Structure 1
């Protein structure tokens, strides 16, 4: 009975130690401001700059667009609005 309990505690300790040892650092989630969009599909949002996105779609017939899921800062809180040329209203506007 004591040997069984000892074996169970040893197994639990080794399992926890292995989980701590072999678990790597957590991946950091990151939202990118620009997305590549091709034929159908939600798009590929992994570009830091518009130029990077344009280079990725070059010759493929795709388009670049702002990441709709990226939370943009509220212009009312910043005290100024972006110039008209930098505003994006989305499809249909």
Structure 2
């Protein structure tokens, strides 16, 4: 029974790791910018319409092209993963 529980926990940990890595691999072309978001903004929109809908009704926000897409800059490398050893 303990082996089954360990396998289940291992599978869950692996799935969580895969799902979090998949989201970071994409640079979306549209960003909501301004206000407290700063220059880099919130870049998670595939279309201008999605971006405009998100910015609508929010004070001092606007939509613009993602700077990394505009200048064809590569995405920054992901931070190194830390391995914790059990003692």
TM-score of the two chains, using structure 2 as the length reference: 0.53
Is 1:24 the counterpart of 2:19 in the alignment? no
Greater mean deviation of Cα atoms: 46-55 or 36-45: 36-45
TM superposition outliers: structure 1 runs of 4+ over 2 Å: 16-22
CA RMSD across the alignment: 2.7
**Structure with greater helix share of residues:** 2
- The match for 1:44 is 42
**Structure with greater strand share of residues:** 1
Larger Rg: 1
TM-score of the two chains, using structure 1 as the length reference: 0.50
Residues matched between the structures, number: 61
Query: What are the ranges of 5 or more consecutive residues in structure 2 without an aligned counterpart?
Result: 73-87
